[in-house]
Amino acid sequence: MYKKKLICSALVLALSACGGGGDGASTQNNNQDKSPSDPKTEVPVTNIAGAIKLTGTVKQGQTLQAQLIDENGFNNSQVSYAWYADNQALAGQTDDKLLLSRNLVGKKISVKANYKDDDGFTENPQSDASIAVAVIDNSFGLLTLAGSEDDVNESAKLVVGNRIFAHINDANSIDGEVDYYWYLNDALVDGNNQASYTLVADDIGKSLHVKAVYIDADGYAENVISENTAAIVAKSDGIAGGVNYPVGASVVGNNPIVRNSAKTNEGFEGGGWNAGTLSTSTYTPGYDNTLTKNFRFIQLQGPHSFTAENTITRVGNYSAKLHWKHGDPGKWNGDANKIDNVDRKAMFHGKNVSSNIATAWYGFSVYFPSDGTILNASEDPLIFQLHGAPDTVDGKKEPGRNPPVALTISSGGFRIGYGWDDRKFATEVRGQGRDKFDVPLNFSEYQNRWVDIVLQIHSNPFEEKGFIKMWVDGVQLVERTDIKIGYNDDKGLYPSWGWYVTGSRAADREHDVIMYMDEIRHVEAADANYYDVAPGYFAKDASN
């Protein structure tokens, strides 16, 4: 019987395929004979309820993650989450993560998910409540002094008349009152509980520090003290009889002046530099042959030595970041086991003055970051110099000699060295004579800000008619007259700006040195004056 049914079914199907036979009844009977185990039989889908739990550390500042499990499957992008703190809904929190902010401390967190799973079942599981959110650990506050209310990195200038500002850095933040206590040589200053202090004449020679007492935003009691400063000094009006000038602008002004043409004029506004000679240095970072050749030649220790800086600038869009690396300073150029001249430098060299007896003006602006100018007691790197041009006489060439003018920095301020030699040919690198003098300053007051430096120098190696004058931020600090300066060379002296880490100390330095330079300018003219080279002053044609 079963065999006959199969034959009939096959016949019916064959006839159907030909368009004939079959009255529907046979098909119905076939369907009724299907076994319950036929694979086409649909099995009802069973919903397995989704579940949700929290993962993560239940502590302020941490993030909790909602972990959803549903064996029916789900699309996480279609899930809407609702978060609760002590069973109160948190507005706007619909993601699968929750950052535990300060206002959630002490509360128990839970989360609820709303979605339709892959089998069409609507689900809304809710997690168990967490333990109470723990408060963040205390991060002790750090109290520092600065010269600006808005910029913690601006160094405090410990000069009578200046205002010193206290800055607190506390990861727990502060939303309440702070009581400040100022001390001079550990003696409390009466009546000043504010965040700033103005230095007065009675403070000269004393150090300053401040204490701050407060409750931070996480409830921790803080009592923090700043480091002691260096000694407070009197306001300097410069040398007796000196001539002072206003500091130039930090943007191109509306009142340009007539300026003499410059031998060297570089503000790095092209984002790089160009020079007449490149062969003196293996590395030339920043070189751009489309720019004006404002320098004679350059000496850069390595590929790190120059960067066009666009965030720390004196005027315009760029300055020069000059970087000298310690550790193994001799590995960059020539013999890797020897610190040669270029290994000591990140330096740009300008053009010669007209003769060995000449008067010229030199201006530039420099920024010494405190973390890039860490100077031990014996360290005094050079930042500006005038250099001689050795002659060749009877086929013999003079050696490179000590710079006839050298401006160096130290923890005690500036130092100027100078030298001379009136002989037409000399083999001693020190010349016939050298001398030096200090410009005592609190160097920390000149860090983390732009400092404008202007020098007027008259060279004369034959008679004591030379002089050196120097202004810092418009204040004349130096007037050394009736001295010999320079060498009896066919060409006049040429200027150099940048790092020159001299002597055997280069190999022993424990830190890199970094500074920024801008507004480099050099003028030689009979009627030249301070304004021809001072940073922040501008020519009418805007090209000088």
Same domain, 317 and 221: no
Within-domain flag for 488? yes
Cα 397–Cα 465–Cα 462 angle in degrees, nearest 5:
30
Within-domain flag for 303? yes
Tokens found for residue 236: 């300097």
> In 3D, which of 305, 309, 311, 276 has the Cα closest to residue 292?
276
Written as tens digits, the pLDDT of the chain (544 aa) is 333 333 333 333 333 333 444 444 443 444 444 444 555 667 788 899 999 999 999 998 899 999 999 999 999 999 999 999 999 999 999 999 999 988 899 999 999 999 999 999 999 999 999 999 998 888 889 999 998 888 888 888 888 888 999 999 998 889 899 999 999 999 999 988 999 999 988 998 899 999 999 999 888 999 999 999 988 887 777 888 899 998 888 887 767 889 999 999 999 999 999 999 987 788 999 999 999 999 999 999 999 999 999 999 999 999 999 999 999 999 999 888 899 999 999 999 999 999 999 999 999 999 999 999 998 878 899 999 999 999 998 889 998 899 999 999 988 889 999 999 999 999 889 999 999 999 988 888 899 999 999 999 999 999 999 999 999 999 999 999 999 999 999 999 999 999 999 877 777 889 999 999 999 999 999 999 999 999 999 887 544 4
> In 3D, which of 535, 528, 533 has the Cα closest to residue 264?
533
Distance CA 523, CA 501 (A): 26
Q: DSSP character for 228?
A: P
Distance CA 280, CA 259 (A): 32
> In 3D, which of 476, 436, 440, 434 has the Cα closest to residue 456?
476
CATH at 352: 2.60.120.200
Q: What is the pTM of this model?
A: 0.63
- Domain holding 376, by residue range, is 264-532
Residues with Cβ within 8 Å of 415's Cβ and at least 6 positions away in sequence, in order, are: 380, 407, 408, 409, 436, 437, 438, 439
- 123, 155, 184: which is the final residue of a domain? 123
- 123, 154, 177: which is the final residue of a domain? 123
Same domain, 221 and 276: no
Residues with Cβ within 8 Å of 39's Cβ and at least 6 positions away in sequence, in order, are: none
Same domain, 169 and 278: no
CATH at 87: 2.60.40.2700
Helix (H/G/I), strand (E/B), else coil: 329? helix
Distance CA 385, CA 458 (A): 14
Same domain, 315 and 376: yes
Within-domain flag for 107? yes
Distances (CA, A) of 502 to 139, 284, 407, 493: 43, 21, 12, 20
Within-domain flag for 167? yes
Same domain, 346 and 276: yes
Within-domain flag for 465? yes
Within-domain flag for 232? no
Q: How many CA atoms lie within 13 A of 410 on its CB side?
A: 15
Distance CA 474, CA 537 (A): 12
Helix (H/G/I), strand (E/B), else coil: 356? coil
- 123, 151, 176: which is the final residue of a domain? 123
Residue 225 neighbours by CB distance under 10 Å: 13
